[in-house]
Structure 1
Amino acid sequence: MIQVLRKRGVRLTLTATAGVVACALGFFAWQTFYPVQASDGWHVQVLHRDVAKAASLLPLADGSLLVSRELDDGLGSILKITPQGERVVVVDGLSKPDGMVAVEGGWVFSQEGGLAPVSVSRDGQITALFNGESVQGLWNDGDHLYAIEDRKGDGRLMRYDWQSGQVEVLRSALTETEGLTRCSGGQLLYTEKAAGKIRALNEGGEDPVVAEGLRNPTFLFCDQRGLWISEDSTHRARLLRIDADGKRHTVLSFLKAPQSIVPDGKGGYLLAEGGRDRVLHLSPPEQELDAHVASLDAQ
């Protein structure tokens, strides 16, 4: 009798354990495959699939799109997708290519995979500008190129002078600083991913916090709609927008490791979703899109 009870207890324990495992696997599968959700009025669709570890996006004047594929150990590359859908690798042999930004006559890219140069591509020729350690975010204002390192406790915010070729370290001892952007007020903003904060560069001293309580903020982008923030989280990440009044809006949810967001030139946006190896297209509410088209016609 005792042996029967013991066997029954073992069976119940195994059944319960199997149930817990099945529930856990189901939960993780749900997080992985649950479709991206857009807030009221916004629409999202997949523009490009099978773009491994899509990170930075850079639309070109001819309608093509540059996408950095953030693979490590020399397996990373920068891909050009033409308006016809043709894919051409324009730079390969990179280690976690991450930031990209347009500059006069070309574009600049960084590599997050250790010590590597920040480089400029012009007319098919690549030239190293300066070295950095795990450089991610880039921002170009025409006179200077800003670059920030994603390191733990020893990251730097640097400024490269296009005329002199000199590099100035503006901040040091930074931790997990990833994104850079400048808003209409003129302030350069950068993220502190682990701390969940966004700071504004203050040339006179300590950098004030302009937003906090965020979940792994990474890429930043500013436009007339406000400050856009993508969360570099593996599951249930969001694309957020902070408007001029400081109110936060969740525009997309259930993303997987979203990265760069850029305007599509037609009133919408492109978003790299690195966790699902794809590029998304985000369209605003119709009334906002109509207003954007009207403003373009008036110019």
Structure 2
Amino acid sequence: MPILRLRGPRIALAATAALLTATLGFFAWQSFYPVQASNGWSVEVLHTDVAKAASLLPQADGSLLVSRELDDGHGSILKITAQGERVVLIDNLSKPDGMVAAQGGWVFSQEGGQAPVSLSRDGQVTHLFEGDSVQGLWNDGDYLYAIEDRRGNGRLMRYQWASGQLDVLRSGLTETEGLARCADGRLLYTEKGTGKVRALSDDGQDPVVVEGLRHPTFLMCDQRGLWISEDNTHRARLLRVDADGTQHTVLTFLKAPQSIVADGKGGYLLAEGGRNRVLQLTPPAEHSTAQR
């Protein structure tokens, strides 16, 4: 009789163990399943061991700047030369995130709370203005735009290079992360929590141009359309949106992808922060030519 009384708990324990194993297996599958490219596109790993890779900025000499988005002063901006050598250019940062070329150098932001938006030029770092959890940056030549990733009190700001004047264009924003200007003149920004991309408008209404996304973060516009990366831990996507609004999924099974930039060779580079690496993406025409 005592043996019979133990069968119930044993069955329950076995079922719990089986469920735990299946759950762990599912998450492991999501973490290690290889990135999938859509038809005609190809993807390969360009750089590994780049902790929390976030923003990418290719340089004229063939090197690549990468912001490593670590918090509490552990973040840095890394230079990877064309020969693969690595040099830390700036350290002791808190979640360095956005980077953009400007004024003969480059500007970077820090998302780890109160921190300056700064210009690095000729080995010198100049603080431009203070922000709170600034992520996205965009430089138009006359103006530098910056957006804060906060909950309910984020701002979209515009800094004038000539005068140093800082204007707040929007306030009360929530989880706004990416910024990009497209060929039609629109300045777009992402709302991560709502899954939307909005366009800055003169009337202050900021219409939605893309929605139904999963945590959109970085943006980029080029001749192929609007590129959007989704900052999901599992099964994230890299999307391309045509001028007519048609969405194309270019990459799937990414883990926390961040910025996408043109590589200067007809393809693209994508920071995959969740796997600490930089990917190289080759479009169909380039891929077909390479196979001939």
TM-score normalised according to structure 1 size? 0.95
Distance between the aligned counterparts of 2:287 and 2:200, measured in 1?
31
Aligned partner of 2:47 in structure 1 is 48
**1:29-51 Cα shifts (integer Å, max 9, x gaps):** 00000000000000000000000
- Deviation of residue 104 (structure 1)? 2.3
Q: Which residue is equivalent to 2:122?
A: 123
Deviation readout 1:25-82 (Å, 9 max, x if unpaired): 0000000000000000000000000000000000001000000000000000000000
Amino acid at match of 1:141: D
2:93 is equivalent to residue 100 of structure 1: no
Partner of 2:279: 280
CA distance in 2, matches of 1:110, 1:17: 46
Alignment length (residue pairs): 290
Note the alpha carbon deviations across 1:185-215, whole angstroms, 9 max, x for none.
Answer: 1000000000000000002221101011100
Q: Match of 1:135?
A: 134
Measured after TM superposition, the shift of residue 98 of structure 1 is 0.1
Q: Work out whether residues 181 and 221 of structure 1, in 8 Å CA contact, stay in contact via their aligned partners in 2.
A: yes
The 3-state SS of whatever aligns with 1:138 is: strand
Change (3 A) 1:34 1:168: same
Give the C-alpha shift of residue 286 in structure 1: 2.8
What is the Cα deviation at residue 8 of structure 1? 1.2
Specify the SS of the correspondent of 2:152: strand
**Other structure's SS at 1:205 match:** coil
CA contact (8 A) 2:154 2:176 kept: yes
CA distance in 1, matches of 2:190, 2:59: 26
Shift of 1:16: 0.6
Give the root-mean-square deviation of aligned CA atoms: 1.2
- Code of the residue aligned with 2:31 in structure 1: it is T
* Partner residue, 1:297: none
1:288 Cα offset (Å): 7.8
Opposite residue 153 of structure 2, the aligned amino acid is D
Looking at structure 1, the residues matched to 56 and 112 of structure 2 have their Cα atoms a distance apart, in angstroms, of: 18
Q: Secondary structure at the match of 1:153?
A: coil
- What's the % identity of the aligned pairs? 76
Contact persistence 1:267–1:289 (CA under 8 A): no
Question: 1:168 & 1:268 partners in 2: Cα distance?
Answer: 36
* 2:266/2:286 contact within 8 Å kept: no
1:66-102 per-residue CA deviation (whole Å, 9 max, x = no partner) reads 0000000000000000000000000000000000000
Distance 1:206 1:106 in 2: 34
Q: Which runs of 5+ in 1 are unaligned?
A: 291-299
* Matched residue, 2:243: 244
Equivalent position of 1:234 in the other structure:
233
Q: Name structure 2 gaps, 5 residues minimum.
A: none
The residue number in structure 2 matching 1:151 is 150
- SS of the residue aligned with 1:152? coil
Q: Give 3-state SS (helix, strand or coil) of 2:153's partner.
A: strand
Task: Write the distance in 2 (CA, Å) between the matches of 1:7 and 1:106.
Answer: 72
Q: Where do 1:110-259 residues align within 5 Å? A: 110-259=109-258
- CA distance in 1 between counterparts of 2:67 and 2:30 reads 25
Q: How does 1:8-87 map to 2 (within 5 A)?
A: 8-87=7-86
Runs of 4+ in 1 over 4 A off after TM superposition: 287-290
Report the Cα distance in structure 2 between the residues aligned to 1:89 and 1:250, rounded to whole angstroms: 34
* Matched letter for residue 61 of structure 1: A
Question: Which secondary structure does the structure 2 equivalent of 1:246 belong to?
Answer: coil
Contact 1:143 1:163 in 2 (8 A): yes
Indicate the SS of the match to 1:29. Answer: helix
Match in the other structure for 1:295: none
- Equivalent residues of 2:137, 2:179 under 8 A apart: yes
Q: Give the match's secondary structure for 2:253.
A: strand
Name whichever of 184-193 and 203-212 sits farther off. Answer: 203-212
